[in-house]
Structure 1
Amino acid sequence: MKEKILQKSTELFLTLGFKSVTMDDIAQELGVSKKTIYNHFKNKTDLVEGVTTNIFENVCKGIDQICSLDQNPIEELYSIKRFTMQYLKNEKASPQHQLNKYYPKIYANLKNKQFEVMQDCVVKNLNKGIAVGMFRDTIDVDFISRIYFHGMMGIKDIKLFPLQKFSMNTLLDHYLEYHLRGICTDKGIKKMNQTIIKNK
């Protein structure tokens, strides 16, 4: 039952937002009483923490699988982008913004975990790109990996990038191209242009 609660709550939170969804909504969607949910989660904050941990672990597994395919570094970034957009339902409800606003402790903890995982993933991607001649060998890998993470967090700020004006999919496309144009060799730019056409 706990897995069912997590699954349904994840779906509702990602679609409607962490603030909007109540325990009553979740109970109704599952066709159970609120008491059943409280048997597994002591309150909504506990449930939100369970859901964010679950999302984080599933996204990490998906990214690990993509990285194990040994694609070229540019295709790898676009594959990760496609997977996360699909899994996070295009982030239409700006879950990160709501999580930060209403559950700041959970958000801060999640952000730290995201940084550790993403830092490792991006450093490997950058080093692979340098090794195959797609990324310039003069880039500062540590700096680029950190600025990449900061930018990824930044484009999810709905005050800066309102969802009415920018879809998350469009923002990620723009950001990936912005990132790659700053680090690619001529060979990398050619591959990036081919990947962009293929992903349209």
Structure 2
Amino acid sequence: MNARERIMMGAMDLFARDGIWSVTMDAIAAELGVSKRTIYENFKDKTELLREGIIAGGELHDKTLNEIVNNSPNVIDALYRIGKENHQTMQKINPRFFSDLKKHYPEILELVRRDYTAKSRKFMLKLFRQGADEGVFEKNINMDIVASVWMQLVDLAESTERGEVISDSWSVKEWHFHLFIPYLRGVSTDKGRALIEHYLENIEGVIKNEDIEEFIKNKGIIKNK
């Protein structure tokens, strides 16, 4: 990791922990044990540091999600793990980060929203089409619409993470369950719904391919339906 990357990652950790506006360049320098001159040799100002940090963080997150998909036995497993990864990521970010971004850096927020929406929609469309090929999702529905609706649900879920939408009587887990599971069931085949139920029964476990095949066999579901 070079000096620029170290500064960028260290600054983003501080922004996530304390919010953006309250973190000064002096605070970043002190936290990282470098001089302000070193920071300014790599970044013109805090705005550039924030913008480049968000872009780099997004690229790293994209890499993580692709690794999850590549290492998952089916798309239901991938969606569960992606949801868990996103939840854990959001839990590490102070809500002030988002309010500061909206209030003081609207141009960066707009850039992030455009980039995030485009990349995420493309990613989810590919994943839902993969699920149709696996026989997990129905093939006779428009996956462009399915992916678009899913992105709307994700936006609502992330609003929950930021504390913008949720009743005091609901847990975040309960809220997310009722957002995503009914929709997934609705676009799934019998095989897909069986997998969903299997995950709900073993929500914290790691499910192996042989476990999935045995479960499907016991339910009398044709594998390639």
State the TM-score, normalizing by the size of structure 1.
0.84
What amino acid is the match of 2:118?
E
1:177-196 paired onto structure 2 within 5 Å: 177-196=181-200
Identity %: 28
Write out per-residue CA displacement over residues 42-64 of structure 1, whole angstroms, 9 at most, x where no aligned residue: 11111110110111110111112
Is the contact made by 1:91 and 1:168 (CA closer than 8 Å) also made in structure 2?
Answer: no
Match in the other structure for 1:123 = 125
Any stretches of 5+ residues in structure 2 without a counterpart? 205-225
Find the counterpart in structure 2 of residue 64 from structure 1. 66
Which residue number in structure 1 is paired with residue 208 of structure 2?
A: none
Per-residue CA deviations over 1:112-159 (Å, capped at 9, x if unaligned) read 211222122111211122222222233321111112122212332346
User: What is the CA–CA distance in structure 2 between the aligned matches of 1:58 and 1:13, rounded to whole Å?
Assistant: 17
Equivalent residue for 1:106, pick from 99, 105, 108: 108
Distance in 2 between residues matched to 1:12 and 1:160, nearest whole Å = 22
Alignment RMSD: 2.6
Instruction: Name the amino acid aligned to 2:192.
Output: G
Deviates more, 1:140-149 or 1:9-18: 9-18
Correspondence list, 1:87-98, <5 A: 88=89, 90-94=91-95, 95-98=97-100
Q: Distance in 2 between matches of 1:163 and 1:56?
A: 30
**1-structure distance, mates of 2:103, 2:171:** 20
Unaligned runs of 5+ in 1: none
Q: Partner residue of 1:36? A: 38
Q: Is 1:176 paired with 2:185?
A: no
Determine if contact 1:97/1:156 at 8 Å carries over to the other structure: no
In 2, Cα distance between the equivalents of 1:171 and 1:21? 32
Offset at residue 69 of structure 1 (A): 2.5
- Per-residue deviation, 1:18: 2.4
Question: 1:20 is paired with a residue of what secondary structure?
Answer: coil
**8 A contact 1:122–1:145 mirrored in 2:** yes
Query: What is the CA distance between 1:78 and its match in structure 2?
Result: 1.3
Report how many aligned residue pairs link the two structures: 199
Q: TM-score, normalised by structure 2?
A: 0.76
